[in-house]
Structure 1
Amino acid sequence: MTISPDVAAESTRTPRRQRLRHYAMTPPTFFTVEYAINPWMDISTPVDVERAVAQWQNLRDTYRRLGHTVDVVDPVPGLPDMVYAANAGLIINGVAIVARFKHAERQGESVAYANWMDEHGHHPVATRHVNEGQGDLLVVGSTILAGTGFRTQPQAHAEVASITGMPVVSLELVDPRFYHLDTALTVLDETTIGYYPPAFTDDARTRLRELFPDAIEVASTDAYVLGLNAVSDGKHVVHPAQATGFAQQLDRAGFHPIGVDLSELLKGGGSVKCCTLEVFP
């Protein structure tokens, strides 16, 4: 009997298993682009707040339909980027490392999120050096991948390792369009990542290929719509809908891609992952 290529590919896929997650999100009630601190931001481009809120609600509801817990953090007037909750910090191993932002425009978010963490029993702690939370600190298995080059300072990586007791792998970014690690790399499960190689130094690419020989390498077309700014529960991968090539790669690898439209929030330089702070056990 002849087996078609599609059936053969299906039969060799790695089984993927969902693990229910706990997320925190902040609605874009006060979202606007009134300053430019990354290449995606253009203060001359109008923002449709009503549409941004509707897109955000769809993302929140998608997580809940998948069975995940979503805590909603109250937005604060005057902090338009607070919707990008991933940058708030890193909550893991019983502690919450609060972000220390590089840019003055975002520093008020540290106070708002530290208050929320404290109210919810997450024991917030601060670093001496700049760290921008899960924007640059991505947990994969028992390791933290840590970005640097544009926002988080490399000295913060050692602080994070000391606070969490977890090994930290430093990865340097070189393309300002990918100013946070979560714009150029996504964690798909405990052993699998997707990433955009040109966003990294040669040394970082070598390290990633050593650690993740089966990684999904994404093309420029998908990277340039922040397609890697995605969230996975180990089986379902919620990603920017415009990243159709990445969706096909995920499907071939045995994941279930779910595209969502966050085009309004892309105007501030963020998408799915930027809007999602994972609360680890």
Structure 2
Amino acid sequence: MGVFSTVRSVAQMAKNFAVLPRATKLLVVNPKHFDVKYVINPHMEGKIGTVDFAKAAAQWRDLKGIYEKLGFDVYEFDGAQGFPDMVYSANHGLSFRGADEGKSVKEVFMSNMGTEQRRGEVPFFEEWYKKQGYKIHHLPNDLKFEGMGDALWHGSRKLLWGGHGFRSSPKTYEIISNAWNVPIITLELLDPDFYHIDTCLSILDNDTALVFPGAFTVEGNEIIRSVFSKVIEAPEQEARRNMACNAFCPDEKNVIIQAGSEVTNERLEKAGFTVVPVDTTEFMKGGGSVFCMKMFTW
């Protein structure tokens, strides 16, 4: 289907996207081993040794409870000793509901983490996917890819948005596009605070995106506005310090978002969404919030 990275190429892209069935299951990793023990993104600066573990556990339970109230089947596992970032389960792969010889199959591309500290996390998730009956794909070792931290499905369409510039390699998306026969729009990330695309772009439904424009190039912003008929901008303070764009809208209605994002919340409500605030401040010390802390699956 191809990879599209310019306004011109996106304009020429076929728009008859196939339907992607909505995921009804979520994979989460509890914070039993969560901590900030090193610095691999700007949010971790000065946060080593500052995690309130009881508070983190309570925040995690609240977030999991929201998913359960919204009707998701939630899979939980403990992670592993020595890997404090496993709680950010969106980063370990990109899952997909595809077809093989006319039969529906579940598939996943496993991540090649861009930082040494996190590479040992991925085999634990691969084992989980195997047990769930997924077809496993691997990328060449020289290509970086951090799963749904940098690759976002376009609502209920077989169209993928891919971020690059910090943690994922652009060439990765050519391989994924060819393997799954899906078009991919790639966007370059410019600001280290927004090192994954899920920190600055949240796809709320097929027509609406929540975005922090300052994380993207001028052309990247033009691409976003050429595809989405509704673009909600988060102000810089809320996007940068409150991770407002790391929100998650699992059902085209409810937007789960870090508490205190008042301007963003007002704009979301004006657009017809229901805001579901949750406190993830302990996990923001590690550089992630709502979207990072789950992997949706089939």
With the length of structure 1 as denominator, give the TM-score of the two structures.
Answer: 0.90
SS in 2 for 1:35: coil
- Matched ranges for 1:177-256 at <5 A: 177-224=193-240, 225-232=242-249, 233-256=251-274
Q: Distance in 1 between matches of 2:54 and 2:181?
A: 42
Name the aligned partner's letter for residue 130 of structure 1: K
Determine if contact 1:89/1:96 at 8 Å carries over to the other structure: yes
CA separation of 1:80 and 1:278: change in aligned 2, threshold 3 A: same
- Matched ranges for 1:80-91 at <5 A: 80-91=84-95
User: Equivalent of 2:188, from 147, 154, 172?
Assistant: 172
Name the aligned partner's letter for residue 228 of structure 1: C
More displaced stretch, 139-148 vs 213-222: 213-222
Residue 76 (structure 2) aligns with: 72
Name the aligned partner's letter for residue 61 of structure 2: Q
| Shift, 1:83, TM fit | 0.1
User: Equivalent of 1:98, from 107, 110, 115?
Assistant: 110
Name the aligned partner's letter for residue 108 of structure 1: G
Name the aligned partner's letter for residue 225 of structure 2: R
Q: Distance in 2 between matches of 1:219 and 1:269?
A: 18
| Shift, 1:111, TM fit | 0.7
- Matched residue count: 262
User: Is there any run of 5+ residues in structure 1 with no aligned partner, and where?
Assistant: 1-18
SS in 1 for 2:94: strand
Q: Distance in 2 between matches of 1:103 and 1:196?
A: 25
User: Equivalent of 2:123, from 111, 114, 128?
Assistant: 111
SS in 1 for 2:86: helix
Q: Name whichever structure is richer in strand by fraction.
A: 2
User: Is there any run of 5+ residues in structure 2 with no aligned partner, and where?
Assistant: 1-21, 98-105
More displaced stretch, 226-235 vs 175-184: 226-235
| Shift, 1:107, TM fit | 0.2
Q: Distance in 2 between matches of 1:66 and 1:44?
A: 34
Q: Distance in 2 between matches of 1:269 and 1:155?
A: 25
Q: Distance in 2 between matches of 1:163 and 1:49?
A: 41
Determine if contact 1:22/1:68 at 8 Å carries over to the other structure: yes
Give me the identity figure in percent.
34
Q: Distance in 1 between matches of 2:233 and 2:254?
A: 18
Determine if contact 1:221/1:243 at 8 Å carries over to the other structure: no
* Pair 1:55-2:73 in alignment: no
* 1:216-244 deviation digits (Å, cap 9, x = unpaired): 11111220210111110211111101212
Q: Distance in 1 between matches of 2:48 and 2:116?
A: 21
Q: Distance in 2 between matches of 1:26 and 1:77?
A: 12
- Give me the CA root mean square deviation: 1.3
Q: Distance in 2 between matches of 1:186 and 1:238?
A: 11
Determine if contact 1:73/1:116 at 8 Å carries over to the other structure: no
* 1:254-278 deviation digits (Å, cap 9, x = unpaired): 1111000000000000000000111
Q: Distance in 2 between matches of 1:274 and 1:166?
A: 23
Determine if contact 1:20/1:67 at 8 Å carries over to the other structure: no
* Pair 1:125-2:154 in alignment: no
User: Equivalent of 1:259, from 266, 271, 277?
Assistant: 277
SS in 1 for 2:269: helix
- Matched ranges for 1:138-177 at <5 A: 138-140=152-154, 141-177=157-193
| Shift, 1:73, TM fit | 2.7
| Shift, 1:51, TM fit | 1.2
- Runs in 1 of length 4+ with deviation above 4 angstroms? none
| Shift, 1:142, TM fit | 2.0
Q: Distance in 2 between matches of 1:208 and 1:20?
A: 24
Q: Distance in 2 between matches of 1:123 and 1:79?
A: 25
